[in-house]
Structure 1
Amino acid sequence: MASRLIHKATYEADNPFDVSLTESFQLLESQLRPPFPLTILTQPEYSNLNRAILYGILCEPHLAEVHIKHLHGIVTDGYSLFTALLTRLVDELYSKLVENVKIQLLGVTSIMIRVSAIGIDSLLVALLRQTRGGDFSKSNLWLCSELVTLFSIKWESLLEEQPLVLSSAMYVFLRLLADHCRVSSNSNLDTLKQKEIEFCIRVFKEQFHLCLKIGRDLIRLLQDLVHVPEFQEIWKDLLLFPSNFKTLGFSDISQFYQSRTSSRYFLLRLTPEMETHLRFLLTQVKLGSQTRYQIWFGKKFLNVQEKESVVIDIVRFICCAHHPSNKTILSNVIPRWAVIGWLLTCCSKNHVQANVKLALLFDFLFFHEEVDNIMNIEPAMLLMINSVPKYVDMTQNLLEFLFLLVDHYDVERKDLIVRGVLSALDVLERKGVVQSFDALTSCDLLSSVLKERLVKLLLSKNVVCRKSTVSTKWCFNKMSEGWPETSTNFPLTRLP
């Protein structure tokens, strides 16, 4: 029997999960029509009936209401099993689902929110992960639109039952907006952008404490939206009037800087399929044998120029969410820094290159040993050191970018940033990630200005920052420099 759930080529093997749902429906189809039998089900029978009902809801839209009522009548576990099945369906099969099935999936998700189903948070996170950055296909924009609408409509329910899911949605829609706002003259996209903006602004204004849950990466995402008029008021309040957020304990943007972002947020921007392939590359592929795997990965996930922006999310994931074991580090598996070096060469757009470098170096700026993980900053440092001398342009470009951030990222809090970078360099050397920085300070191929600056930084114990006399408050990543050229332009953006 051909699958009614997924698109499947004739040469593809049957999917076990798809088969299990189909078989359960075929076995119990006669029991899915009223009047329903009044019997006490064993656990295997209950599991089988849940699978059959799920299949019926997804593949028989004309009978979906009947199936939903049946589900309400038999449920004994707070819908835990049913939502687990939905989550597995999204994680394993979403990209292959028939369009009508996707519509039914979003509909039944809304119902699960209404009944406060156990596991609804996992289901919503699974759906958020399927929204792909840099993908302007009709199907992806449809999912983005459906989800932001769902979160807006179900705002009160989610706020009461699953508030942290709203922070996850905030992270996702801020990141998607950065891509969506770069495209103009598209009426369908304009409608979606407005929905995403309204949702994010609502979180900022009504539930700012949820923004604090995200940590410093919220600022990294928000800076890409500084030119969106609706976010300019948010920036003014963050930098000048923090009390306007009416959140107890929040008094300065530096509180975001000093709060590390949980790895679960970085997973939100990768589909499970992409995560699986990345983890394989980073745990199984030997250094020297990685080229064909990288080519395959690039063709599958980065082959369209608009999709380049997903490299930003991949680099952030590698730095902050994939921390290999000591056994893997000591093996000949391709190291994280080498994969990131390759990803940097995949970026042709200037703004993407700049954002990728920011993603790589971001934790350097605010590093605090008691809060941060050394593994988050290890790849950047090893990439700089191991690129000497063969790829010295890479080293020079990253080092130059780091100093640019130190000087201009936030001029009024430069002392905080300098302390963060000094702390990062100290920990990297003290913990043995690098034996010394001689490879950089004694490299004849590096700019003498950069070496001089690095030596001065390494010798620094106390840095006194001059108070800025300009009205500029923030430096945003609208950089126009290219890679691997060494010239860098990091213009400041004034508050409106």
Structure 2
Amino acid sequence: MNIPKIESLRQMEIAFCVRMLRENFSLCLRIGRDLVRLLQDLVHVPEFRSIWKDLLYNPSAFKVDGFVDISQMYGTRTSRWYFLLRITPEMESQLRFLLTRVKFGSQKRYQVWFARKFLAVPERKGVVIDIVRFICCAHHPSNEIIHSDIIPRWAVIGWLLKYDLKHYVEANLKLALFYDWIFFDEKVDNIMNIEPAVLLMVHSIPRYIDITHSLLEFLFILLDNYDVERKEIVSRGISTALHALTRKGVVQSLDVLTSCDMLSPIFKERLGKLLSDWQFQHRKEFQSTNIPPGGIPSSSSSLESQTSA
């Protein structure tokens, strides 16, 4: 392996990306929220660290009219086509075969083959993050597949989560799984992007309760720490995602989580609070949108209008 040549190529890639971000940021914005996720993972690189700081504290440095805050990127869902660029065509083909042809319970030999082919070298294991984003956002099974005995998406992600991963890769995999949760908006987001995470948590009870526990724990870590200055956006996104999942029948109820004796009481309490806070906020917003421009009329003014009529 020619290390100097690899390092030279790396520097050329960095220079190209930095130039694109600095000189053509209006085009880069079209990528959407996943650009934020990728840049976050590059803050250890000095050239990208300065870009990250400008995104947070000096957005005017990008000289894009109307771009004033990073939260505008949060609200833009990344197109599924971008996720196809993050994995090889062969990898995509094998994943689609697994998710459309292989029966649940007969997947082990296919998974072993896939791991040997694409994940055997330690340096390649980071690709599981892109695989999870692909599965969540770029591979949406038909209703026929969903109601068949084909291995579901959540089970494949559960297998990847159990794979021998370094801690930072596992954390980024969970972030990839939940990323659309933390900014979920029914007007722009697809319920299928957030479906695998909740089904993985629900179906892991009780046999793989450690997965449910670790995913809930990570979800609350995101709620508390992802963007402290914009915590309201994250809280609203997660709450909206949970209610959308139950309202659209992805899961019948979240009682399986809130009443599970095997889960931490703290997690169950926080989950219940998230749900109740959303109901309160939703009710308040509904009431405010139904108040006339002049406010709520007093009983006397209503009576006067009826009398004069």
Cα distance in 2 between the residues matched to 1:350 and 1:193:
24
Q: Aligned match of 2:257 in 426, 430, 440?
A: 440
User: Pairwise CA RMSD of aligned residues?
Assistant: 1.2
Cα distance in 2 between the residues matched to 1:403 and 1:189:
39
The letter of the residue matching 1:441 is T
Gaps of 5+ in 1: 1-136, 139-185, 464-496
Larger radius of gyration: 1
Aligned length: 280
Q: Aligned match of 2:213 in 396, 400, 406?
A: 396
Q: Aligned match of 2:105 in 288, 301, 304?
A: 288
Quick check: 1:216 aligned with 2:8?
A: no
Cα distance in 1 between the residues matched to 2:53 and 2:131:
30
- TM-aligned CA deviation for residue 294 of structure 1: 0.8
Cα distance in 2 between the residues matched to 1:380 and 1:211:
28
Does the residue aligned with 1:377 lie in a helix, a strand or coil?
helix
Match of 1:88 in 2: none
| Moved beyond 6 Å, runs of 4+ | none
Deviations for 1:97-144, whole angstroms, at most 9, x for unmatched residues?
xxxxxxxxxxxxxxxxxxxxxxxxxxxxxxxxxxxxxxxx77xxxxxx
Quick check: 1:252 aligned with 2:69?
A: yes
Q: Aligned match of 1:321 in 114, 128, 138?
A: 138
Q: Counterparts of 1:276-315 in structure 2 under 5 Å?
A: 276-315=93-132
The letter of the residue matching 1:375 is M
Q: Counterparts of 1:103-252 in structure 2 under 5 Å?
A: 186-252=3-69
Does the residue aligned with 1:397 lie in a helix, a strand or coil?
helix
Does the residue aligned with 1:403 lie in a helix, a strand or coil?
helix
- TM-aligned CA deviation for residue 311 of structure 1: 0.6
Q: Counterparts of 1:5-44 in structure 2 under 5 Å?
A: none
Cα distance in 1 between the residues matched to 2:41 and 2:184:
22
Cα distance in 2 between the residues matched to 1:294 and 1:230:
38
Match of 1:343 in 2: 160
- TM-aligned CA deviation for residue 300 of structure 1: 0.9
TM-score calculated relative to the size of structure 2:
0.88
Cα distance in 2 between the residues matched to 1:447 and 1:459:
19
Quick check: 1:386 aligned with 2:203?
A: yes
The letter of the residue matching 2:90 is E
The letter of the residue matching 2:224 is D
Does the residue aligned with 1:365 lie in a helix, a strand or coil?
coil
Quick check: 1:406 aligned with 2:187?
A: no
Gaps of 5+ in 2: 282-309
Q: Counterparts of 1:90-109 in structure 2 under 5 Å?
A: none
Cα distance in 2 between the residues matched to 1:366 and 1:205:
25
The letter of the residue matching 2:217 is E
**Counterpart contact for 1:308–1:346, Cα < 8 Å:** no
- TM-aligned CA deviation for residue 230 of structure 1: 1.1
The letter of the residue matching 1:427 is A
The letter of the residue matching 2:28 is C
Cα distance in 2 between the residues matched to 1:457 and 1:369:
17
Match of 2:291 in 1: none
Q: Aligned match of 1:264 in 68, 78, 81?
A: 81
Cα distance in 1 between the residues matched to 2:4 and 2:227:
36
The letter of the residue matching 2:231 is K
